[in-house]
Amino acid sequence: MAKKRIGILTSGGDCPGLNATIRGVVKACYERMGEDNVEIVGISNGYYGLIHGLCRTMQPSEFSGILTQGGTILGTKRQPFKMMTVIGEDNVDKVKNMKETYKKERLDCLLTLGGNGTHKTSALLADEGLNVIGLPKTIDNDLFGTDVTFGFHTAVDIATDVLDRLHTTAASHSRIIVCEIMGNKAGWLTLYAGIAGGADIILLPEIPYDIDSVCSAVVKRAQKGKAFSILAVAEGVFDTKTAKLKKKEREAYRAENGNDTARIAAQIEKNTGIEARVCVPGHMLRGGTPSAYDRLLATQFGVHAAKLIAEEKFGRTVAYVDGKVTANKLADIAGKKKLVDPKGQEVQTARDLGISFGD
């Protein structure tokens, strides 16, 4: 039996659970096909490594002790999809190079762990004839076709802890604290953490806010004797005026003026007279050991990927749908985002608690 050579890369932003997924798929491949019949080729720094041939055959011992380890043992790097088919000043044909690296390394399949951009490139490579299997990773939880991505729940736990801690300092100083949470286009992380962390106001990219409505919600709390408020704000929020701009105009406005978080805090303080502060936990939400939930989910995803490899079902990405681990065709999900439904159950739950969305 010829050894099956499996390439693995992690692309895009890091998150807890990448190593747990790598471990899950490798251990399941060893168990299913025999350790002597499998060779794992680690590709450093995502698609950049595939483009530039940064590959090495890894030893079984390298996958021990990484279940609880954050980040990725393979390293990661952002390689924008929109530039994949563009030959730049370096004169590198990225798609051609990736196909040549795949062939040179004698890969039988390629596993790509990543989010939306990663999956678009995975679909591209599958169309080019490579055997590709995707695994859904992102703290934004915005990948179409799966109910949840690994890394999301750990980030929710961390963001919730941040909001918990902000409550005590906000109450002590009778302040408004505006906490900016990662999520440029999708507000899942802010929504879940905001509800779990007892935020008073939640602002999401999917629900453009009106600053007067935000200030009104703060004033109403103050009138009830609640001298502080906690705002959970997704980094990609914009107000109702900006929402009327075309996409490129909004992007240009954001590039020139930055995120709305600091402006929201300044406007609240100016309009209400209540002292406001900004907290940006930033990349702390990506770091550290994965939660038990994400370790389990990542392991399940890895095991299912091993099953797809053994059955030679390529051009797919693993998914979690209605309580079961399954897989979607890459062509069916690439380029699609799963956004918060403004009328969805989670938003309605928050509204029923009296949480304002600033609309």
DSSP state of 260: S
Dist. CA 74–CA 108, nearest whole Å? 19
Contacts of 273 (CB under 8 A, 6+ apart): none
Strands 38-43 and 55-58: antiparallel
Rounded distance between C-alpha atoms, residue 61 and residue 72, angstroms: 16
Q: Considering only CA atoms, which of 225, 236, 284 is closest in space to residue 264? A: 236
Q: Domains for the chain: give ranges and CATH numbers.
A: 4-150+290-333 (3.40.50.450), 155-286 (3.40.50.460)
pLDDT at residue 258 in the model: 80
Task: Look at residue 255 in the predicted model and tell me its pLDDT.
Answer: 80
Instruction: Tell me the two tokens of residue 130.
Output: 């490579």
Distance (Å, whole) CA 135 – CA 111: 7
Report CA-CA distances (Å) from 24 to 76, 196, 213, 287: 19, 29, 47, 20
Number of residues assigned to the chain: 359
> 86: Cβ–Cβ under 8 A, 6 or more apart, which residues?
none
The number of beta carbons lying within 10 Å of the beta carbon of residue 243 is 12
Q: By CB neighbour count within 10 A (0-12 exposed, 13-18 middle, 19+ buried), where does 196 fall? A: middle
Instruction: Tell me which long-range contacts 164-167 makes (C-beta under 8 A, separation of at least 24).
Output: 164/197, 164/198, 166/230, 166/279, 167/197, 167/198, 167/228, 167/230
Beta strands, E only, 55-106: 55-58
Q: What is the dihedral of CA 109, 110, 111, 112, to 10 degrees?
A: -150
The CA distances from residue 219 to 36, 225, 359, in Å, are 67, 10, 15
DSSP state of 55: E
Strands (E), 204-323: 229-234, 276-279, 316-321
Are 214 and 162 a contacting pair, CB within 8 Å? no
Q: How far apart are CA 41 and CA 322, in angstroms?
A: 33
Question: What's the sign of the alpha-carbon dihedral 290, 113, 44, 186?
Answer: negative
| Strands (DSSP E) found in the chain | 4-10, 38-43, 55-58, 109-114, 132-136, 176-181, 201-203, 229-234, 276-279, 316-321, 324-329
Intervals of the chain under pLDDT 50: none
3-state secondary structure of 54: coil
3-state helix, strand and coil shares in percent for the chain, rounded to the nearest 5: 45, 20, 35
pLDDT at 195: 98
Enter the pTM of the model. Answer: 0.93
Going by the DSSP 8-state scheme, the letter that residue 68 receives in this structure is T
Tokens encoding 60: 């079984």
Q: Please give the pLDDT value at position 1.
A: 61
Supply the residues annotated as catalytic: 140
User: 3-class DSSP state for residue 316?
Assistant: strand
